[in-house]
Amino acid sequence: MIHLYGRKNSINVQKVSWALCELNLDFKWHDENGKFGTVNVKNYEKLNPQLIVPTLDHHGHIITQSNGIVRYLYRKYTNTYTISKAEDIAIAEQWMEFQTTDLQLNMTPVFWGLVRNPPEDRDQELIDKNIKFLNQKFEIFDKFLSDREYILNNQFGMADIIMGVASFRYNSLPIQRPNLSNFQYWYQRINDRECFKKNILGTFG
Ligand SMILES: N[C@@H](CCC(=O)N[C@@H](CS)C(=O)NCC(=O)O)C(=O)O
């Protein structure tokens, strides 16, 4: 049995639920309706000493860290790692790292500042500075997408999921975005996927 711990509107949990869906894997979802900062599961610290989400219990094998979980699932259930050249995998992983480090650095103050925190706590200067960086980083991704359909092997895969959840958040933010035609073309195809509609759409907030 596969168990996923975490709430539906967490960007990091979404990576895993989307990947499980794409791979047609049944799983039991725990704490689907949990609030931020709480995981309503008894003894959760035994599964995840950091008390964060997501955690995957894959037939008794406990894994944390969203990108690590997605890599594990793709290694286990697809031929991504065996058919791809190491150079191409490196590029895919480069974008996965980009999301979790560089993008999140700017996404967090913008998302929390505009969406999750009350308006009286808003630091507009900080938000504006980070919107600028966020737009610049998506411009870099837009250029990368100019000669490909998807990130790895021109097939939808793990790196599209990781950049996809971040892109959903970016495109949902009430901010001005530059014209990113390659990015928006890619995003539209990502949006059309059933697993995106099922796991990501309608979760902004
Ligand atoms: N590097 C971790 C970060 C996980 C993380 O920060 N999770 C947040 C939600 S997105 C969290 O658990 N916050 C506490 C909570 O929601 O209860 C990962 O990628 O899994």
Q: Whose CA is nearest to atom 17 of ligand 1?
A: 37
The CATH number assigned to the domain with range 85-199 reads 1.20.1050.10
CA of 40 to the centre of ligand 1 (A): 14
For ligand 1, is residue 65 a contact (CB within 6 Å)? yes
Question: For ligand 1, is residue 9 a contact (CB within 6 Å)?
Answer: no
> What pLDDT score was predicted for residue 205?
85
CA of 53 to the centre of ligand 1 (A): 5
Which residue CA neighbors atom 15 of ligand 1 most closely? 37
Q: Is the pLDDT of residue 33 over 80?
A: no
Q: Where are the domains of the chain?
A: 2-77, 85-199
pLDDT digits (tens, 9 = 90+) for 36-46: 767 888 899 99
Q: What string of DSSP letters covers 133-154?
A: HHHHHHHHHHHHGGG-SSSBTT
Best CATH choice for the domain 2-77 from the list 3.40.430.10, 3.40.30.10, 3.40.350.10, 3.30.360.10: 3.40.30.10
pLDDT at 35: 73
pLDDT digits (tens, 9 = 90+) for 116-154: 999 999 999 999 999 999 999 999 999 999 999 999 989
CA of residue 54 to ligand 1 center, whole Å: 6
Distance 23 CA to ligand 1 centre (A): 23
Tokens at residue 201, please? 């759409």
pLDDT band at 32 (very low <50, low <70, confident <90, very high): low
70-105 pLDDT, tens digit per residue, is 999 999 999 999 999 999 999 999 999 999 999 999
For tokens 């979802």, the residue is 29
CA neighbours closer than 13 Å in the CB half-sphere of residue 97 = 6
SS3 7: coil
pTM here is 0.96
Report whether pLDDT(18) > 70.
yes
Cα–ligand 1 centroid distance for 46 (angstroms) = 16
Q: What is the mean pLDDT of the chain?
A: 95
Instruction: State the pLDDT at residue 39.
Output: 81
Nearest Cα residue to atom 2 of ligand 1 = 65
What's at 136, amino acid-wise?
Answer: Q
- Report the residue count for the chain: 205
Does 92 contact ligand 1 (Cβ within 6 A)? Answer: no
Closest by CA position to 123, among listed 112, 133, 134: 112
**Fold match between 2-77 and 85-199?**
no
Residue 182: Cβ-neighbour burial (10 angstroms; 0-12, 13-18, 19+): middle
